[in-house]
Amino acid sequence: MKFFLAILSFLLALTPVAAQEIECTVTTNVEALAGDARENLNDFISQVQQYINSYRWTSVDLGGEKIKCTMDIQFKGSPRDGHYSVQAFIGSQRPIFQSGGSSTALVRLKDDNWEFDYIRSTPFIHNDDRFDPLMSFIDFYTYIILGYDFDSYKAGDGTPYFQKALEIANKARGSGNAGVGWEATSQNTYSRGLLVDELLNARFYDCREAFYKYHYRGLDLLAKDDVRARKNMLAALEKIGQLQDRINQRTQMIKLFFETKHLEIAQTFAKDPDLTVFTRIIRIDPAHQSDYEKASRGEN
């Protein structure tokens, strides 16, 4: 018996960690569809959710913790049998250290340009070697979510996942059936390809370092030392501001950061004894000036 238990323990030690990292909630809106186009999607939510949540996306042991994310898929139309045009809302969050269960949003974005073919009950199979308009879109954003989550704990740790996303974008650019949204367009138009290009561009790395400092040296420290935490958060915001001044452009990753975080920034610094801090924040993020001014006046 002792010999059997020893062998069993050895075999278990050799078994790779099987726990999955992602807990994604998928929702859909099919009101724009009718008849067969709508009925074809009866299993769609369960298939997408099962695919994301059951696949092993990293080799990292997260200690049983799950990265929580959402994918809200709004179907806009079905121009032909089994083909869909979609608007997707992608979101992710992570816990704030010692906050009593509070969490912070890491990604909140809208992607208007997703088109794919789908036939009910067709199996979802992960394949890194080929581009597929449905599966590769899901893979791309899963890797983006992973990259942002890892970067929030240590600057640069998200790079392997952003590189995976870039590989998908590059395959899309070389594919004849990729659809729009993968090419690197102007700064005024959201593009998956441009976002991941920026995330891996050394010229914009200060934004990723600021992202880490804002979360790990800021939000995660609030419960222990709120004064120091806000000081670190402000330093992170000013680092982003300095980057903007240096490159003289509003990048997609900076725009995404402030669209995701501006209300949290307003609420956090509304507790600062020196509310003139909002003058500095508004200079960095003028797009959300009204929210910062409300916070500075004590308005919700």
- Using one digit for the tens of pLDDT, what is the confidence trace for 159-215? 999 999 999 999 998 877 777 888 876 667 889 999 999 999 999 999 999 999 999
Residue position matching structure tokens 């209300």: 263
Q: Identify whether residues 216 and 101 lie together within a single domain.
A: no
Confidence of residue 3 (pLDDT cuts 50, 70, 90): very low
**Which residues are within 8 A (CB) of 49 and not within 5 positions of it... i.e. 6 or more apart?**
24, 25, 26
> Which backbone phi and psi does 29 adopt, to 5 degrees?
-130, 115
Q: What is the mean pLDDT of residues 241-248?
A: 94
Please provide the DSSP assignment of 112-156 as one string: EEEEEE--TTPPP---TTS--TTHHHHHHHHHHHHHHHHHTTSTT
Q: Identify whether residues 180 and 76 lie together within a single domain.
A: yes
What per-residue confidence (pLDDT) applies to 58?
A: 94
* Model confidence pLDDT, tens digit, residues 214-234: 999 999 999 999 999 999 999
Q: Identify whether residues 32 and 153 lie together within a single domain.
A: yes
Q: Identify whether residues 244 and 103 lie together within a single domain.
A: no
What per-residue confidence (pLDDT) applies to 290?
A: 97
> Does residue 8 lie in a domain region?
no
- pLDDT of 4 over the 50 cut: no
**Taking the CB of residue 30, how many other CB atoms lie within 10 A of it?**
19
> Which backbone phi and psi does 281 adopt, to 5 degrees?
-70, -40
Q: In angstroms, rounded to a whole number, what is the distance separating the alpha carbons of residues 218 and 225? A: 9
Q: Identify whether residues 239 and 160 lie together within a single domain.
A: no
* Model confidence pLDDT, tens digit, residues 31-83: 999 999 999 999 999 999 999 999 999 999 888 889 999 999 999 999 999 99
- pLDDT of 154 over the 60 cut: yes
User: Which residue range forms the structural domain that includes residue 98?
Assistant: 20-200
Residue 3 token pair: 């010999």
Q: Identify whether residues 180 and 32 lie together within a single domain.
A: yes
- pLDDT of 238 over the 80 cut: yes
Domain boundary among 200, 227, 253: 200
Q: 236: closest CA among 247, 220, 252?
A: 220
Number of folded domains in the chain?
2
Q: Identify whether residues 235 and 186 lie together within a single domain.
A: no
24 within 8 A of 53, measured Cβ to Cβ: yes
* Model confidence pLDDT, tens digit, residues 265-293: 999 999 999 999 999 999 999 999 999 99
Q: 291: closest CA among 257, 262, 270, 251?
A: 262
